[in-house]
Chains A and B, each alone.
Chain A
């Protein structure tokens, strides 16, 4: 890649007029918390009263976020803090407290120790957690959108406010993946492309809804943890499987109630009596041939065009996918069920004397299976995973020898968390991680005007290992000191996230 970062994130922290505003004594600091970029003199607060200059340091009057684990006391679970309720003023136990990067702020330049290097004890061993807010100029979001509807061709541009902010990538089982952001959109294109990309990512990462439009495809409203809205319609359920899989799951339950079942699906439409499942049940071939290209017996590709109709096709009348009915094989009175892969659409037909399908009331046993298809469809959601590289200069806030941190993460000695949430670290070089934004505290993300996203990141490791890697051991403070002197607020630990402060 040529010149992906012509504007370095740090440029943004000290804008072009830094010469007249930066002040080594800290008499005046430039606040970069919002676009106003207030100059704040020692002892003053910015225009918002949320940030202040305290002894030459920009401090957030919003406190540092601590997460409190419930502890098991003699069998009874004692909540230290009720999730969602503010701290009641009691002293909290350090051994069950995790200091997150939320509210920690960043340091600049990088070689300065991270804002908080917190020493605590786990299983009798001293453990260090290095806490910071990392600036990720290389970052993006992976969206998994549970839908069978056609969102757009692979590689199509995904746009927000007209600017390309990402692209359509692979279709997965019952879902379409989008890749948003990345350094090329953030800093490789026009200034507007970068700022729109950053804003869209920031909102999605902070669980806000965002409107997207896909070239040659759908318009979307997506929000982490919420059902996607495709072309104005809220998606309800994921399909139970492709058409062929649906046949495989329910074939036996239809036997005796229908002579043919066609499961309409944009990917693979299933035809019961031709399908291996129907043959295994010794069903009589029905002679109803659907459109499209036969893949294997009873499995058809491209029975229609992708769209917003039945099973992700453009079909609104299911009979449109029937190519012909073979008079030598079919018979008058043949009972035909047509159903989509989510059970949202279903119709029942009986062939008349001329072998024409005629709509008829659906028999109760078939209705029950249609409802079971729907019941087996999980709620459709949009999942948002943040992906970014922490392998760059933010490591210098942890250790003087950054590659040792990378190795330590790789050897699973150092645990990486984002706001306490577990991350997946990709194999190979660097510290490229992925994290589910819904497992992080709310509003964990911010940005710098580079543009780049800022998010909490914590590295937890035994103090001996920290010393060995050349960590800023002299900057470590006891957790008790943070609790006593710091400005903080506490929330309950998120159930399901593994407790990161361990020695294993």
Chain B
């Protein structure tokens, strides 16, 4: 049986929206009536997001190669726009789905409202709104199995960053690489999501003990088809870790030079490298 989209307030007042695989936690700050109206707007927008995506799902799951496809749904268009600059490598719009949903719901949340600050967190891919003078502080946990605060990002309203996304081989999404976590700051959550996916794919080395399996053997509907995705990573020697990190840094630097991302933090087995310009992303003490 199907459960429809559901939106409910958490005991602390935040809004939780869930439909199928989408789980959003939304929080905003401002006048009480503005906050209530904002939550109502987000709830209305969320109701049809999944159906809109499903309507174009097969196209969204196929790779883009500089094609001129257009999508009908606003979330699908955000996904396509976010992955288009990366068309030289294998990527499907699905690489940006979580971030694009966060961006779309954030846009509905703040539309016409006066809010100091707002956050839409879609399972770690975060879109946020900052009014002048506000800032966002966020922590990065690289390995959910051994949680520790690996990095802190602090973004104030003068920066252009409005999206954060994390990708890696752990967790629900699949990765071609071995990074525990690649966290990216970009103009939107969709752009951050697409970039984090690709940088995480690039963090890689050849190693016989890394277990990989065809994506479809793990998830029948995977947009990665029969590409090998990482299932298990053994403890690696420092030199191997550094080599894998360096591959990720190269990729991230190229994206930063093209203006696609603001900063990235790449974590692999307790070693980390960061790529950053204006926005700060600092290693936690």
| A residues less than 8 Å from B218 (CB atoms) | 44
CB proximity of B258 to chain A, nearest CB, Å: 31
**Contact status B220-A28, CB under 8 Å:** yes
Closest CB pairs A-B (n = 9): A34-B20, A454-B1, A446-B1, A48-B21, A47-B21, A35-B54, A41-B220, A39-B220, A447-B2
Give the number of residue pairs across the A-B interface with Cβ within 8 Å: 69
A34, A105, A135: the one contacting B3 at CB < 8 Å is A34
Segment 1-57 of B: residues with Cβ below 8 Å from A: 1-4, 6, 19-21, 47, 50-51, 54, 57
Assess whether A33 is interfacial by the CB under 8 Å rule. yes
- Name the residue among B4, B19, B47, B218 with the largest chain A CB count within 10 angstroms: B4
**Contact status B47-A33, CB under 8 Å:** no
CB proximity of B58 to chain A, nearest CB, Å: 11
Assess whether A462 is interfacial by the CB under 8 Å rule. no
A217 to B57, CA, bound (A): 41
Assess whether B271 is interfacial by the CB under 8 Å rule. no
Please choose the segment from A200-208, A236-244, A262-270, A375-383 that sits at the chain B interface, where 4 or more of its residues have CB less than 8 A away: A200-208
**For residue A51, which residue of chain B has the nearest CB?**
B20
B3, B54, B220: the one contacting A33 at CB < 8 Å is B3
A98 to B208, CA, bound (A): 53
- The count of residues in chain B whose C-beta lies closer than 8 Å to any C-beta of chain A is 19
Name 24 A/B residue pairs within 8 A (Cβ), A-sorted. Answer: A28-B220, A32-B2, A33-B1, A33-B3, A33-B20, A34-B2, A34-B20, A35-B2, A35-B20, A35-B51, A36-B57, A37-B54, A38-B221, A44-B218, A106-B1, A133-B1, A135-B1, A199-B47, A202-B4, A206-B6, A446-B2, A448-B1, A448-B2, A454-B1
CB proximity of A47 to chain B, nearest CB, Å: 4
B1, B20, B172: the one contacting A36 at CB < 8 Å is B20
**Contact status B50-A34, CB under 8 Å:** yes
A454 to B218, CA, bound (A): 30
| A residues less than 8 Å from B1 (CB atoms) | 32-33, 105-106, 133, 135, 446-448, 454
A203 to B47, CA, bound (A): 11
CB proximity of A187 to chain B, nearest CB, Å: 16
Interface set of A (CB-CB < 8 Å, partner B)? 28, 32-41, 44-49, 105-106, 133, 135, 199, 202-203, 206, 208, 443, 446-449, 454
Assess whether B219 is interfacial by the CB under 8 Å rule. yes
| B residues less than 8 Å from A106 (CB atoms) | 1
A28 to B57, CA, bound (A): 19
A182 to B6, CA, bound (A): 23
| B residues less than 8 Å from A47 (CB atoms) | 20-21, 219, 221
| B residues less than 8 Å from A133 (CB atoms) | 1
A90 to B1, CA, bound (A): 31
**Contact status A38-B47, CB under 8 Å:** no
CB proximity of B143 to chain A, nearest CB, Å: 18
A328 to B21, CA, bound (A): 78
Segment 183-237 of B: residues with Cβ below 8 Å from A: 217-221
| B residues less than 8 Å from A35 (CB atoms) | 2, 20, 50-51, 54
| B residues less than 8 Å from A446 (CB atoms) | 1-4
CB proximity of A255 to chain B, nearest CB, Å: 48
| A residues less than 8 Å from B217 (CB atoms) | 41
| B residues less than 8 Å from A454 (CB atoms) | 1-2
A199 to B2, CA, bound (A): 11
A493 to B219, CA, bound (A): 39
- Name the residue among B3, B54, B218 with the largest chain A CB count within 10 angstroms: B3
**Contact status A33-B2, CB under 8 Å:** yes
CB proximity of B17 to chain A, nearest CB, Å: 12
CB proximity of A27 to chain B, nearest CB, Å: 10
| B residues less than 8 Å from A443 (CB atoms) | 3, 6
A34 to B54, CA, bound (A): 10
**For residue B20, which residue of chain A has the nearest CB?**
A34
A46 to B47, CA, bound (A): 21
